[in-house]
């Protein structure tokens, strides 16, 4: 019984897909084709690649290395700043904990008022 249901679902799905495909094909036949100038597209790509190659040839390796090293330096400085900020937050937390511990030590040392009266 389940095989029959699954088979029916398969058949109905295939018929639906075929119907949708034929309706879209008829719509696509009505659409006008816009022709693009592909030569222009490829010529633009060629010009851009030529310009990039000329820039690479004109730049010396020194300037290329300078750019890379400066980017690495900036990245490391950003990491260092974040680490220092995190360290500062951690130090503040430990200060608060120490102050809190000192408070409780002080409270422990002072005798209770009820004990003073006895």
Q: What pLDDT digit, counting tens, does each position of 66-105 carry? A: 888 999 999 999 999 999 999 999 999 988 888 877 777 7
Average pLDDT, the chain: 82
Cα separation of 12 and 18, whole Å?
A: 10
Alpha helices in the chain (DSSP H): 2-30, 38-58, 61-109, 113-117
111: DSSP letter = P
Can you list the positions of beta strands (E) in the chain?
A: none
Provide the pLDDT for residue 113. 57
């Amino acid at each position: 019984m389940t095989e029959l249901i699954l088979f029916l679902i398969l058949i109905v799905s295939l018929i639906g897909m075929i119907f949708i495909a034929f309706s879209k094909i008829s719509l696509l036949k009505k659409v006008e084709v816009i022709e693009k100038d592909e030569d222009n597209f490829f010529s633009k790509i060629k010009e851009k690649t030529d310009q990039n190659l000329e820039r690479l040839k004109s730049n010396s390796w020194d300037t290329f290395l300078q750019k890379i090293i400066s980017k690495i330096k900036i990245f490391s400085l950003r990491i260092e700043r974040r680490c220092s900020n995190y360290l500062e937050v951690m130090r503040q937390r430990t200060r608060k904990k120490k102050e809190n511990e000192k408070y409780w030590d002080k409270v422990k040392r002072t005798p209770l008022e009820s004990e003073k009266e006895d």
